[in-house]
Chain A
């Protein structure tokens, strides 16, 4: 640890870093940052930086507001974009109480706890690879309908237009920050793009997702455009998902892989999927946290609606991608519900907790849904035991509120705060009269 700090201190000196930005995340997944000068860095490592947490969403009550930000030297990275005041760097922080105990309102701490637990229980390490989808629009003015930059569709190789260029520059910047990209392409909807990140451990990936959203926005802004991770900004076309590929490793071994199984899935893999399916409705409020998220989770747009699993069927909630022969390490599962507006720390934490519950309690995996569940009738679905995912934020919150598994994974502090905050979002939404209602009802009623 000391050598890591020393490394950071020397690098700051050698590279002439003028500002060190300390990053952390509020409960909803907004990136927060404050900057310190290099002279403060040693103190920051030794004692942490004091700040008033009551100003941050979900952090603390006013009477116990002060917390400590402790920079994680592992996450030190020089920022590749120019700052007006010279080179700057960033580090993600863990948040502690003043007495040095981990602060209960810190999402990074929640995920850390989950990862530690998986390691203690079964020696598992949790790896994820999200596919990030997003839209480019002309601007972020909510009073105007969003204006796509192109009319391309799935895998379209558009001409050297501005969106293609932004995507290319984004990837170059991500790679220079040590966030490797596996694929990128034009997605189905106009001006919708996808960038798939290469798998890494859960904590680094949650940090990467936070960095990713910033980099995508920075590059768009540089080109006079606006990038959004809003799950469903355009009606009538696909919304943005964050399909998350998941694997568990035991040392060097892929715990999900069994060469003798027809699906190449081990018992551990099956139990993990069973856990995810069993708890899916309870974790949906976390993986899909906006009122708008539920306008993506509807039939007809390749987003999951029913709790099911399958190999090649993209209507399923959990997909088991068929891997290349002999590639044991790539046996994995894909959870298709999350959207890119989620808090990645909390989302990965509840996904892991749901899967671990399946492993620890030995849940049975139901049969694969080979048929397209969208085309089945309600009766057929009921006969097949297929439950729907929550249809609205309110339903998702009800399911979450009744879940001990989620309460335990998030800790009481975040669990309660999250429910309260989201209930109030729902209450505001319910009281709102939308354009849809005006257009539909005003002329006739």
Chain B
């Protein structure tokens, strides 16, 4: 995988550590002129710019990566709380921002989200459970190597369930987490989609989704026995 561009150079230690732990390769740049000079042969995977120490240089780096023929994205901007006002009218310079001091889990979540949204995975994101594989980049689902043809909502529902094996969800939770809005039919919609999903999984695998009486649904078994 290509490295992330990191400003400033040297990188803040806590940032470097969080990225290393998350398995993201990175390379620091000191100013905007270094963006092209230090660019790896396959390009940058994205950028993380810390603007809390030297905002002017930081925004210059942002501008430099954005005005290239192919603007570099995603770009995550780190600012201090006092700098929130500086973001105004600069929406085109970054894709997401985060306050410093940051929480490593938040950094990871935001990077994951950004990479998913721009469709440039840092690694092919897969959810695997037994014979079932969901590729989050291509939206494909397969059972024992054979693709299953799902509709969008069926895919989203299966993705959500399969990423939390063993956990029991109520219909309301599934509706708000998967659909995210009031859909035709409210919570009853969930039952209908579960049944459709089971139909497509086929007899052999329909049991992957369990009905938990008077609660809701769960998928498979927890991997950690909890």
Contact = CB atoms under 8 A, between A and B. Distances in A.
Interface residues of A, number: 37
B153 interface: yes
A78 interface: yes
Contacts of B147: 15
A8 interface: yes
A180 B138 contact: no
Contact of A10 (B139, B153, B199): B139
B14 interface: no
B141 to A, nearest CB: 10
Given A252-B172, A252-B187, A252-B188, A76 B195 contact: no
A77 B150 CA distance: 7
B149 interface: yes
Interface in B3-41: none
A14 B188 contact: no
A175 B200 CA distance: 6
B185 interface: yes
A178 B154 contact: yes
A372 B91 CA distance: 73
Contact of B192 (A14, A76, A175, A200): A200
Given A3-B152, A74-B152, A203 B199 contact: no
A204 B195 CA distance: 14
B195 A180 contact: yes
B152 A127 contact: no
A78 to B, nearest CB: 4
Contact of B188 (A7, A125, A198): A125
Contacts of A410: none
Contacts, number: 83
A283 interface: no
A252 B151 contact: no
Interface string A160-182: 00000000000000111011100
Contacts of B154: 178
A86 interface: no
A249 B190 CA distance: 13
B152 A8 contact: yes
A178 B196 contact: yes
Interface string B192-222: 1001111110100000000000000000000
Given A10-B138, A14-B138, A14-B140, A178 B151 contact: yes
A401 interface: no
B186 interface: yes
B94 interface: no
A65 interface: no
Given A175-B199, A176-B200, A180-B196, A7 B185 contact: no
A125 B149 contact: no
Nearest to A89: B149
Contact of B184 (A179, A199, A203): A203
Interface string A249-262: 11110000000000
Contact of B195 (A115, A174, A198): A198
B122 interface: no
Given A201-B184, A252-B172, A7 B149 contact: no
A6 B154 CA distance: 15
A8 B138 CA distance: 10
B155 interface: yes
A323 to B, nearest CB: 16
Contacts of B189: 125, 201
A11 B140 contact: yes
B149 A77 contact: yes
Contacts of B110: none
Contacts of A249: 185-186, 188
A201 B185 contact: yes
A203 B200 CA distance: 20
B192 A15 contact: no
Nearest to B194: A180
A382 B147 CA distance: 61
A199 B192 contact: yes
A73 interface: yes
A180 B199 contact: yes
A158 interface: no
A54 interface: no
Given A176-B200, A180-B199, A78 B184 contact: no
A249 B188 CA distance: 8
23 contacts: A4-B152, A7-B155, A8-B152, A14-B140, A15-B147, A74-B151, A74-B152, A76-B152, A77-B151, A78-B149, A125-B185, A127-B185, A127-B188, A174-B199, A175-B199, A175-B202, A176-B202, A178-B196, A179-B196, A198-B195, A249-B188, A250-B186, A252-B171
Interface of B: 138-140, 147, 149-155, 171-172, 184-189, 192, 195-200, 202
Interface of A: 3-4, 6-8, 10-11, 14-15, 73-78, 80, 115, 119, 125, 127, 174-176, 178-180, 198-201, 203-204, 249-252, 329
Given A180-B199, A249-B188, 8 more contacts: A11-B149, A14-B140, A74-B153, A115-B184, A175-B199, A203-B184, A204-B192, A251-B187
